[in-house]
Amino acid sequence: MSMTTLLRQRKSRTASASPETALLLEAAGHVLVGGVNSPVRALRTVGAPPLLVRRGRGARLWDVAGRAYLDFVMGWGPLILGHVHPAVTAAIRRALRGGTVLGFTHPEEIALADLIAGAVPSVEQVRFTASGSEACMTAVRLARAATGRRKILVFEGCYHGHGDTLLAGHSAGLPEGLAGDVVTVPFNDRRQLAAAWAREGRTLACAIVEPVAANMGVIPPVEGFLQDLRRLTTEAGALLIFDEVVTGFRLGWGGAQAHFTIRADLTTFGKIIGGGLPIGALGGPRDLMRRLAPEGDVYHGGTFAGHPVSMAAGLATLRVLKAEPPYDQLARLGTRLAAGLAAAGRGAGVPVQINQIGSMATVFFAQTPVERWADVHRADASGFGRWWRHLFGRGIVMPPSPHEAAFVSTAHSEALVDRAVHASAAAFRACAQEQA
Ligand SMILES: Cc1ncc(COP(=O)(O)O)c(C=O)c1O
């Protein structure tokens, strides 16, 4: 059945949706797997149908029926300046006048690499990729080549994209035996970390970590955790890869490495450095990066690597961040949001833990602090789903899973944050009433 026929024939499966939304949802389910192109967008964790959006501006999103929402997903992280920032949009327009994909090195690749290297002291050279996943899988390949070792160490609950090794144990269809190459340690568990290095350290090519976990909800590192990791990797002759796809240019101009004063051997980037267009990058010292082709024997290449329009959008974004650093303001907004949400939960008698650092935050329906994957796992996911749906009904879009980070951008004002807190208080009260 063609989509057009389907649109004509099918009736609404979502009684409350507008007829156009209902038809599009049907069509989406017909021609896209699960109605989406990335699983979390299906909103299954919160028991809702996929959200069909038309456009965004500033801190707002509009769905296909024209309903406006206050957005805390912000494209899952890239939009630190909000939707349709004028400087970014103008740069994209200018870039488009020169062509879409040019096939050779162009000045904006050099300029963006130079800005990144200037911001993150451990980075001397950069290789751009088309996604964060690609950057992480290439960084691991480089670490294996540089050390001549095969195994890698990862942390429970961290996400580094969908490269095979980095998905070991989390997907069907991976090569048999892959899991044997991956040592997994609970994030923030210094004792188990030390034990793993004592046992396996000399066989490990690298450890890869989100310096602030953002894919099991926001979990900042406990005191000493990243320092231990730096020391243990150095002692074992393994590389430390900081996956700063989320934290890069978000925790501050120098990312997590500046924030925690730790130098990684390799760093991966994505999201913000593309200003809302597809991008990824890895960076490190020249002698290490030179192992990549064409200088060295580690292959990476891509038709869209260093895409001119992504470069232009990223460059415009980073130039704004450098000229008018928003980080203090973003941290104030993040703190205001977290404090407001905590008070709202308390006021309604709903036990919640709010994890927040800078402009990133997550609400966990939990009685006790959430510092590890096991804590995340114990939290009440169905309570979160109820809260999300009540909030959504009040025009606020929070990330539809307690495994994702909510983001504030420079387009979020105090008044908008307060609006979300106010709506959240009502949502918590509604949850409490349902529980009673
Ligand atoms: C920390 C981290 N690393 C890597 C990735 C993968 O990036 P991409 O989705 O651009 O492939 C993500 C995506 O959310 C991420 O959060």
pLDDT band (50, 70, 90) for residue 18: confident
**Residue-wise pLDDT tens digits, 239-269:** 999 999 999 999 999 999 999 999 999 999 9
* 30-83+326-435 and 86-323: identical CATH topology: no
pLDDT cut 90: percent of the chain above it: 94
User: Which residue blocks in 39-130 are alpha helix, DSSP H?
Assistant: 86-97, 107-119
> What average pLDDT does this structure show over 337-350?
98
Q: 49 CB contacts (<8 Å, ≥6 apart)?
A: 13, 14, 17, 25, 35, 43
425 residue type, one letter: A
Which DSSP category does 174 fall into? P
Q: Is there a contact between 355 and 362 (Cβ–Cβ < 8 Å)?
A: yes
pLDDT value for 16: 64
Token look-up 């020249």 returns: 286
CA of 128 to the centre of ligand 1 (A): 14
Domain map (residue ranges) of the chain: 30-83+326-435, 86-323
How many degrees, rounded to 5, is the angle at CA 160 between CA 154 and CA 165? Answer: 65
CATH number for 86-323 (one of 3.40.50.10320, 3.40.640.10, 3.30.930.10, 1.10.510.10): it is 3.40.640.10
What the block records as the tokens of 136 is 């992480």
Q: How many CB atoms lie within 10 A of CB 369?
A: 11
Q: Is the CB of 133 under 6 A from ligand 1?
A: yes
Q: So which residues are the catalytic ones?
A: 159, 243, 271
CA of 134 to the centre of ligand 1 (A): 9
pLDDT band (50, 70, 90) for residue 436: confident
Atom 5 of ligand 1 has which residue's CA nearest to it? Answer: 161
Residue 279 Cα: closest atom of ligand 1: 10
> What average pLDDT does this structure show over 122-144?
98
CA of 33 to the centre of ligand 1 (A): 20
Q: Quick check: bond before 400 cis, omega within 30?
A: no
Q: Is there a contact between 152 and 206 (Cβ–Cβ < 8 Å)?
A: yes
The dotted CATH code for 30-83+326-435 is: 3.90.1150.10
pLDDT band (50, 70, 90) for residue 12: very low
Would the pTM count as exceeding 0.85? yes
Q: Buried b vs exposed e over 165-178: b needs ≥16 C-beta within 10 Å? A: bbbbeeeeeeeeee
pLDDT value for 1: 42
Q: Across all residues in the chain, what is the average pLDDT?
A: 95
Q: Is there a contact between 274 and 297 (Cβ–Cβ < 8 Å)?
A: no
Question: How many angstroms separate the Cα of 108 from the Cα of each of 33, 71, 134, 206, 324?
Answer: 36, 30, 21, 31, 21
Atom 9 of ligand 1 has which residue's CA nearest to it? Answer: 132
Q: Is there a contact between 398 and 412 (Cβ–Cβ < 8 Å)?
A: no
pLDDT value for 155: 98
> What average pLDDT does this structure show over 399-426?
98
Q: Is the CB of 160 under 6 A from ligand 1?
A: yes
| Rounded CA separation 214/142 (Å) | 24
